[in-house]
């Protein structure tokens, strides 16, 4: 038999279907997963940074809105508002005064300035939460801690923003003790002390027996001898995690509607985000790593330090309405000088 190519049959190869696909091997899948995980690891910090930048921007915008309100108030009234005042046995603060000048006319129309902020229909107004009160970077600004509730008094909103109350040395161990006239005592001594170490916003009490009875008018721009660009008008603070009903959770910080204990203002007694504890009167203190505090059972005035959740800085507003980011490492003497409005400190760049 003669062999010929035509008589040989070879197996035919079936061409691959255009619709058939080769499956991934396990190794290939693991490689893809590893690449995706690496990309997420690279992108996540950038996303978080972008979100914090957006939150920080919103925080600055809120502060700027308060600043515009302060200066609009000053233009209309001839002076900046009081930080706090007790006209006829009830107390109110700067917050309600600035409402109509900070696009919160509805709240202002509903609020009766002739009664206490805790009285009658005022309760519903001071408990109405608005974005202007809170810095989005503080998680407690959107949780239970956004309101103050001690279980007895009417509930009201806390604020992440407080105005400048200056800094007040409490002992001779202070690096810059007040050289107050030794012949002064009582209210006169307190007035002299506050005149020198007070911030941009005064507290005013009509009764002469109060520890800090001030009878002078609120500050005008020309009264701020240190200059508006070198005087702190407002800073962020951090809010407590709880409204305060549970035992051991009540904290007076951020209770800005209340003129009591200096709660309406922040103080430059410590540097920004300091580990040194704030001083909380009436033992209203719930300490955390972000918000250290020391409870006190005697009335001597509370202190609230500038604090934020921004990395390494706090945002502040100066008296001229400019917004600044101040590093936690700012020189303490500079920070104290920025807190006072009439002491005569010379402050350079910061």
* 30-48 pLDDT, tens digit each: 888 888 888 888 777 777 6
Helix (H, G, I), strand (E, B) or coil at 51: helix
Give the residue numbers spanning the domain of 310.
58-339
Q: What is the tens place of the pLDDT at every residue in 99-121?
A: 999 999 999 999 998 888 988 88
The reported pLDDT for the residue numbered 178 is: 54
Residue with tokens 């991934």: 24
79 located within any domain: yes
95 located within any domain: yes
28 located within any domain: no
24 located within any domain: no
Q: What is the tens place of the pLDDT at every residue in 180-232?
A: 666 777 667 767 777 778 889 877 765 544 444 454 567 888 888 899 999 99
301 located within any domain: yes
pTM confidence score: 0.82
Beta strand pairing call for 84-86 and 203-205: parallel
Look at the chain and report how many structural domains it folds into.
1
349 located within any domain: no
The reported pLDDT for the residue numbered 141 is: 93
Contacts of 340 (CB under 8 A, 6+ apart): 166, 167, 196, 197, 198, 199, 226, 231, 268
210 located within any domain: yes
- Kindly report the CA angle at 112 between 110 and 116, in degrees rounded to 5? 130
17 located within any domain: no
Q: What is the tens place of the pLDDT at every residue in 257-282?
A: 998 878 899 999 899 999 999 988 87
Residue 179 clears pLDDT 70, i.e. is over it: no
Helix (H) or strand (E) holding 316, with range, is strand 313-318
């Amino acid at each position: 038999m003669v062999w010929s190519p035509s008589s040989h049959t070879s197996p035919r190869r079936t061409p691959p279907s255009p619709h058939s696909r080769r499956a991934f091997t396990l190794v290939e899948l693991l490689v893809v997963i590893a690449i995706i995980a690496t990309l997420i690891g690279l992108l996540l910090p950038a996303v978080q940074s972008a979100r914090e930048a957006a939150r920080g921007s919103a925080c600055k915008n809120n502060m700027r809105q308060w600043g515009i309100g302060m200066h609009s108030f000053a233009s209309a009234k001839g002076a900046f508002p009081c930080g706090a005042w007790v006209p006829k046995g009830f107390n109110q603060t700067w917050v309600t005064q600035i409402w109509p000048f900070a696009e919160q006319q509805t709240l202002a129309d509903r609020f009766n300035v002739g009664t206490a902020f805790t009285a009658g229909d005022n309760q519903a107004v001071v408990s109405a939460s608005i974005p202007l009160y809170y810095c989005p970077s503080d998680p407690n600004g959107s949780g239970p801690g956004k309101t103050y509730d001690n279980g007895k008094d009417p509930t009201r909103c806390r604020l992440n923003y407080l105005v400048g109350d200056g800094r007040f040395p409490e002992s001779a161990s202070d690096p810059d003790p007040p050289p107050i006239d030794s012949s002064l005592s009582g209210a006169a001594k307190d007035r002299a002390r506050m005149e020198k170490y007070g911030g941009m916003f005064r507290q005013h009490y009509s009764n002469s027996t109060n520890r800090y009875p001030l009878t002078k008018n609120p500050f005008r721009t020309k009264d701020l001898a240190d200059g508006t660009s070198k005087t702190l008008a407002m800073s962020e603070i951090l809010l407590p995690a709880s409204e305060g009903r549970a035992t051991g959770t009540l904290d007076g910080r951020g209770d800005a509607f209340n003129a009591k204990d200096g709660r309406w203002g922040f103080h430059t007694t410590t540097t920004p985000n300091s580990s040194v504890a704030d001083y909380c009167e009436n033992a209203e203190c719930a300490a955390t790593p972000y918000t250290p505090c020391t409870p006190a059972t005697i009335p001597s005035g509370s202190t609230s330090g500038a604090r934020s959740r921004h990395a390494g800085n706090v945002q502040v507003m100066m008296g001229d309405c400019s917004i600044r980011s101040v590093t936690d490492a700012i020189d303490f003497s500079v920070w104290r000088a920025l807190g006072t409005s009439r002491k005569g400190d010379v402050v350079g760049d910061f």
